Chain A
């Protein structure tokens, strides 16, 4: 009896979403031998009256355990075997583990499998993409704002024995309650809180400065306040509350004028001018970084828009899983479980997944598009580069470098760094192309054929490839 799969009857049918459906009919004796093997396995554990474990004959087991149970057990193993054989026979390259969809009939045994195929990425003409890039500008206004902030932080605060004035700091006892609600509607109850007397301070309510000006330490005041209809907190709009204030202390606040001496106090600056230059440089750097990041995002968005990406649903599920794990990890830092989070957000797990779905799809599409570009452009990262990046990361952890080293300096960490670097390079390249600077970038070595075959060797940029996860 030939045990290899050449007596399988296989029909394959391509589905949408990069999946193939195989309908396989297999001969009875395959099922029979599998059933017998399964019964033997089960019989080793099952207690059958009158027989030592493992000694009961097939017919007795069939009666005792029921055909369904044995069939299920048999299918578990047979299903895997048949799957492998069918793949060999049809020469379909499965991208990830396929699944046994349904048992169509038992006699003869007909099984239906769904097999995910490698994602198909059709890039648009990404090499012809041009987007204009605006160099970010930093105006004097921004510099002045930062300088003012710096100056205010240097303010001298001293107790003052006089009524509060504008730009003083007042230490308050505040009690506030929403009225007309009837219930316990305690809004505020602070024993000692500092408030800056300034026009734009809106805590505990807008216009507090006008109330405070002229009050002295020890003075008390109670009043009613109605929150305006355009108040920031919607739930408070149009509601009125009773406030009771008691001034504990009035402090004068002297904001120093800019002088060279003050600049020296701020750090390693020779004079005011160099501080100002430094501030401007920092601002420009920050603005450029942001502009670059958003430009890169725009470029990728444009490319993703032009591309057509088809992937099997299993990839999306994995991406969702990744995101959920991520979320769980982040929640653990806050000592929350996913269940707590769901309770807070008032969502069921299905709703949460539903909500994440579009995001996951976008992430996945981006990753696939980038992966495709990495492959087409032959972007590679060699070991020294990874090493350098690793050292760079470790520098960030000055004190606990050893801990960090154990965290990153292993094959998984290196892999991740490599993937990050590869995708960074891809993004850089795309940005260069979009800016029209691609002349100094190598031309692609392969033509963008973007067929399923070339996608097999793809590099997964953001998530780890599913085959490995399945192992």
Chain B
């Protein structure tokens, strides 16, 4: 993890994140495990050309699940670090259009 371009992995697009971005102006990313709040803030501000008000970080634990076909085998799904970035009301990130 040498540069800010390695910090953000991908946007998280789910029903919940959709609600957050639409109503709360919070944008959710999957980020590198080693990333800090400061690094995430820097990365988002530079890549999306916005000001970041606040960053919340959650370590999503790995989960056990069963394989779809052979239901006996359980599979470990990797965990990841999730960052919820809050922007001021007048700024927006168009996640679906990607990075400018």
Contacts and interface: CB of A to CB of B under 8 A. Distances in A.
B14 interface: yes
Task: Choose among A50, A55, A63 the residue with the greatest number of B CB atoms under 10 Å from its CB.
Answer: A50
Contacts of B18: 51, 57, 60
Contacts of A51: 14-15, 18
B36 to A, nearest CB: 26
Contacts of A57: 18
Contacts of B17: 50
B13 interface: yes
A68 B82 CA distance: 33
Interface in A53-74: 55-57, 59-60, 63
A35 to B, nearest CB: 16
Nearest to B94: A59
A278 interface: no
Nearest to A52: B15
A56 B12 CA distance: 13
- Size band of the interface chain A makes with B: 10 to 19
B15 A63 contact: no
Contacts of B15: 50-52, 55-56
Taking chain B's interface residues, is the majority helix, strand, or loop, or is none over half, making it mixed?
helix
B96 A59 contact: yes
B96 A50 contact: no
A57 B16 CA distance: 12
- Size band of the interface chain B makes with A: under 10
Nearest to B22: A57
Taking chain A's interface residues, is the majority helix, strand, or loop, or is none over half, making it mixed?
loop
Nearest to A60: B13
Nearest to B18: A57
Interface in B1-54: 12-15, 17-18
A287 to B, nearest CB: 80
Contacts of A52: 15
B28 to A, nearest CB: 11
B31 to A, nearest CB: 17
Nearest to B12: A50
A60 B15 CA distance: 10
Contacts of B14: 49-51
Nearest to B16: A50
Contacts of B13: 50, 60
B81 to A, nearest CB: 17
Contacts of A55: 15
B58 to A, nearest CB: 16
A450 B17 CA distance: 68
A56 B19 CA distance: 11
A349 B50 CA distance: 66
A55 B13 CA distance: 12
A113 to B, nearest CB: 35
Interface in A390-444: none
A52 B15 CA distance: 8
Contacts of A60: 13, 18, 96
A52 B13 CA distance: 12
B34 to A, nearest CB: 25
Interface in A6-63: 49-52, 55-57, 59-60, 63
Contacts of B12: 50
A459 B58 CA distance: 77
A57 B22 CA distance: 11
A51 B96 CA distance: 16
B47 to A, nearest CB: 20
A57 B13 CA distance: 10
Nearest to B96: A59
A57 to B, nearest CB: 6
A99 B31 CA distance: 53
A49 B96 CA distance: 15
A49 B13 CA distance: 8
Contacts of A59: 96
B59 to A, nearest CB: 19
A380 to B, nearest CB: 66
B14 to A, nearest CB: 3
B19 to A, nearest CB: 10
B71 to A, nearest CB: 19
18 contacts: A49-B14, A50-B12, A50-B13, A50-B14, A50-B15, A50-B17, A51-B14, A51-B15, A51-B18, A52-B15, A55-B15, A56-B15, A57-B18, A59-B96, A60-B13, A60-B18, A60-B96, A63-B96
Please give me the 7 A-B residue pairs with the lowest Cβ-Cβ distance, nearest first.
Answer: A50-B14, A51-B15, A59-B96, A55-B15, A50-B13, A57-B18, A60-B13
Given A50-B12, A51-B15, 16 more contacts: A49-B14, A50-B13, A50-B14, A50-B15, A50-B17, A51-B14, A51-B18, A52-B15, A55-B15, A56-B15, A57-B18, A59-B96, A60-B13, A60-B18, A60-B96, A63-B96
